[in-house]
Amino acid sequence: MGMSACSTGSGNSDSDIVGDDWRVTGVVRDSGTITRNGGDTNVLVCVLTEGAAFYYDTKDQLMFDTVFYPTELAQKVALSGDVWGMYKSIDFADLNGDGNSDVTMKFDDSGSELVIVWFWDAENIRFEYQPNESTLPGAEESAQTDILYAVFGADNVKEYPIEYTGAQKTAEELAQELSKLTGLDFNITASKTDDGWVVDWAADSSLIAGLDNREQKEEFFFFDCDSLNWFMMDSLWRTLTENLNAENIYYTMDGGKELTFEELYPVNEFPSDIPYMGSEFYFAHSDVRGDDENYYACTKGLWRLDGAADAASIEMDGLGGFTMYYADGAVESVGYLECGDELNNGCLRYDMYTAEGELIVGFYFDSDTQFHLVNEAGSVYMLDA
């Protein structure tokens, strides 16, 4: 596909060059600098009906590169007949982090802003149109569906579909959808890399700043920082990888610093050059059961009264949180554990408290797969296989 050369148009050049020079004929609409392979090239921009042409800023009219409009924009330009009037701006910022300039052009369509984006494709040596990065009101009205993932654990993932029209939501927009869903602050900035996204958690995000005194949503209630942090990192990671087809997600914090926590079991540091792998991976690669650093690791799992499938049960997350169920599956109570060695004999007692801090009952482990409650009946719970 070819593109016609710049011809004299209705615009005026701001150049002070005089004489036999194509740059003063009124065809130049804008200018900028394109970075490619480590070098910078000053270019003059001609805005045409089928695309934009970038010329070297020299007396001889030599083309550097071009972009072609998507069909939707080409149709709007044809209907308008005034591409110069529709044109607003051009920017050559690197949008995907590959070190080369990309192209962002903005047009006015009867009061609506059209944003068209092309990424530099080094393999094919051309600018490639990016529909998911572009905004063409009225052109992309087909409904889209994304899935928000709330990851409470490897076997406890809830999905929340969201429908909308227009361009694919960005990483930041998906994070804000998670904020609306959970009541937590998924405040991030994201930049695309060759193999995924770098996600920087803001200092005022709930992951970094904590929960403060806010009222938590019942469905997304957390009793400890570990559960909250793993939930936020896992949920955003899963949501971005699934909806943006991202191979890798790299986490940083507060403007590019390494993501670290004072305390987080089983790992509290996430190097910025290693992709986030999800809590299941980190726990699987740690000797969690019986680890002195996490007294609650041994509680993880579904525990059934007398081991019966149709009896009451208690599900514990291995981080100090639990949910008690009646035999019919209805929730009896949600709360947290406290662990202590009250007899100083190395035999740990676990006390179960409601969310309001009221003691329910305590228990002791008899083995890795069984514990008994400290009550008159001495009720026994067994780990569900």
Best mean pLDDT range from 7-11, 174-178, 296-300: 174-178
Retrieve residue 242's tokens.
Answer: 């699934």
CA distance 107 to 125: 26
CA distance 331 to 315: 11
pLDDT band at 224, cuts 50/70/90? confident
Q: Which residue has the higher pLDDT, 89 or 280?
A: 89
Q: Residue 290's pLDDT is what?
A: 41
In this prediction, residues 318-345 reach a mean pLDDT of 82
Confirm if 302 and 311 have CB atoms less than 8 A apart: no
pLDDT band at 16, cuts 50/70/90? very low
Q: Residue 1's pLDDT is what?
A: 47
Judged against a pLDDT cut of 90, whether residue 239 lies above it is answered with yes
pLDDT band at 6, cuts 50/70/90? low
**Could you identify the residue written with the tokens 């100083």?**
344
In this prediction, residues 358-382 reach a mean pLDDT of 90
CA atoms within 13 A on the CB side of 290: 5
Judged against a pLDDT cut of 80, whether residue 225 lies above it is answered with yes
pLDDT, mean over the chain: 86
Q: Residue 230's pLDDT is what?
A: 96
CA distance 240 to 20: 54
In this prediction, residues 72-91 reach a mean pLDDT of 87
Q: Residue 168's pLDDT is what?
A: 82
CA atoms within 13 A on the CB side of 181: 21
Which residues is 338 bridged to in the sheet?
351
Q: Residue 320's pLDDT is what?
A: 82
Q: What percent of the chain has a predicted confidence (pLDDT) above 90?
A: 54
Taking only the tens place, the pLDDT of each residue in 31-48 is 999 999 999 999 999 999
Retrieve residue 224's tokens.
Answer: 């400890």
Model-level pTM?
A: 0.48
Taking only the tens place, the pLDDT of each residue in 248-306 is 999 999 999 999 999 888 889 999 988 999 988 887 766 433 444 567 888 989 999 99
**20: CB partners within 8 A, 6+ apart:** none
DSSP designation for 218: G
Confirm if 198 and 190 have CB atoms less than 8 A apart: yes
**CB pairs under 8 A, 24+ apart, for 25-34?**
29/84, 29/87, 30/87, 30/89, 30/90, 31/57, 32/90, 32/91, 32/92, 33/92, 33/101, 34/64, 34/65, 34/92, 34/101
In this prediction, residues 320-339 reach a mean pLDDT of 88
Domain boundaries, the chain: 22-129, 143-284, 297-383
How many beta carbons lie within 10 A of that of residue 139, not counting itself?
19
In this prediction, residues 359-369 reach a mean pLDDT of 91
Q: Which residue has the higher pLDDT, 373 or 137?
A: 373
Q: Packing angle between helix 225-243 and helix 171-182, nearest 10 degrees?
A: 140
Ramachandran assignment for 237, one of left (phi > 0), alpha (psi -120 to 50 degrees), beta (any other): alpha
Among the listed ranges 172-181, 234-243, 284-293, 327-336, which one has the minimum average pLDDT value? 284-293
Q: What percent of the chain has a predicted confidence (pLDDT) above 70?
A: 89
Retrieve residue 345's tokens.
Answer: 């004999």
In this prediction, residues 51-60 reach a mean pLDDT of 94
Integer CA distances (angstroms), 105 to 45, 49, 70, 214, 358, in order: 11, 14, 12, 42, 60
**Could you identify the residue written with the tokens 């909250």?**
228
| Closest alpha carbon to 146 in 114, 116, 185, 175 | 175
Judged against a pLDDT cut of 80, whether residue 324 lies above it is answered with yes
In this prediction, residues 176-189 reach a mean pLDDT of 96
Judged against a pLDDT cut of 90, whether residue 355 lies above it is answered with no
CA distance 138 to 145: 18
In this prediction, residues 20-28 reach a mean pLDDT of 87
